[in-house]
Amino acid sequence: MSGPATGSDGYELLDSGGGRKLERFGRVTLARPCAQAVWRPALPPERWAAADASFDREDGNRWSGRARLPDHWTISVDGTRFHLASTDFGHLGIFPEQRRQWEWLRRAARPGDRILNLFAYSGGSSLAPARAGAAVTHLDASRGMVDWAAENARLNGLSNIRWIVDDAHKFLRREERRGSRYDGIVLDPPSYGRGAGGETYVFERDLPRTLELCRAVVSDKPRFVLLSAHTPGCTAQVLANVLSQAVDGLGGAVECGEMLLEGAPGVLPLPSGAWARWTASEPARDSAKRQTSLR
């Protein structure tokens, strides 16, 4: 199928289980791997077989039915439009498990705030504060992903985002020397990544240093740091612990939780990574989130 596709907007988790997930992206339905889904699928096999395409990694990265997909299509999630396309790695250009974080960023960011988004991929966490009127700096080591994010910004009529292709650590060191400071920082480091100049990033090795560099570029009155990760074995408490050390002395509080893919009522939510968040003022009490006071 060539050209853009239109149709039902939005994202929906339809089912999961047996190491797979069944999702709807607008009018396109896909089945893809998901190691966390160790339970049984709720929908019958014929519903899964009716997916427009499927992806697996059993014999290398491989699509089935990819020719039936549009070259690209657009969906809207909570009022934000995203440009989607199938990639050779099974990704589409959106991580809907971040949806609750995007909602929070739209509420937390204020007009005029300077927000830095590191390892920013296709820009969902850049679009959210930009929609609230913040001045956003979006950084990723991949020129292709920065271009993709810029297309998402264009779809949403946003011009208050600065685009940077660079290694995160090199950029942060330069920003410190320049005296550049940010009121909020968002980062979703990869398990393993390669920088624009061939630099390698290993989550377990490099995350503490990344947060040290972030601490050096926060403003005199920083408002938040939002950290998320998809690294296997990295729990919400792990993120909370390393973030708590990085912001020690700033006051405020750290809260943490799981990122979830979600569907209609009755569809089992699917854990898809973890998040931890420091805010300058203690967040409202929520029994679903673990909190640590840093005062």
Residue 114 shares a structural domain with residue 34: no
Query: Last residue of some domain: 35, 56, 84?
Result: 84
8 and 125 inside one domain: no
Q: Which CATH number covers residue 14? A: 2.60.40.1180
Whether 145 and 70 map to the same domain: the answer is: no
As a whole number of angstroms, the distance between CA 118 and CA 169 comes to: 10
Instruction: Fill in the DSSP letter of residue 200.
Output: E
Kindly report the CATH number assigned to the domain that includes residue 153: 3.40.50.150
Residue 39 lies in domain: 4-84
Residue 273 contacts residue 230 (beta carbons within 8 Å): yes
Q: Are residues 11 and 151 in the same domain?
A: no
> Quick one: 80 and 129 in the same domain?
no
**84, 110, 125 - which closes a domain:** 84
Query: Do 163 and 146 contact (CB within 8 A), yes or no?
Result: yes
**pLDDT digit of tens for each residue in the chain (295 aa)?**
434 443 446 999 999 999 999 999 999 999 999 999 999 999 999 999 999 999 998 877 899 999 999 999 999 999 999 999 999 989 999 999 999 999 999 999 999 999 999 999 999 999 999 999 999 999 999 999 999 999 999 999 999 999 999 999 999 999 999 999 999 999 999 999 877 677 888 999 999 999 999 999 999 999 999 999 999 989 999 999 999 999 999 999 999 999 999 999 999 999 999 999 999 975 544 434 555 545 4
The answer to whether 147 and 83 have CB atoms below 8 angstroms apart is no
Are 127 and 63 within one domain? no
Give strand ranges (E) for the chain. Answer: 4-5, 11-17, 20-25, 28-33, 53-56, 62-64, 72-77, 80-84, 114-118, 135-140, 161-165, 184-187, 192-194, 200-202, 224-229, 253-261, 270-279, 290-293
Asked if residue 243 and residue 119 are part of one domain, the reply reads: yes
Count of the separate structural domains present in the chain: 2
Residue after which a domain boundary falls, among 55, 84, 113: 84
pTM confidence score: 0.90
For the chain, give percent helix, strand, coil, nearest 5.
Answer: 25, 35, 40
CB of 79 within 8 A of CB of 12?
no
CB 161 within 8 A of CB 148: no
Q: Looking at the structure, do residues 129 and 256 belong to the same domain, yes or no?
A: yes
Q: Is position 91 within any domain?
A: no
Nearest to 292 by CA among 263, 255, 260, 258: 255
Q: How far apart are CA 116 and CA 6, in angstroms?
A: 32
Q: Is the same domain home to 71 and 155? A: no
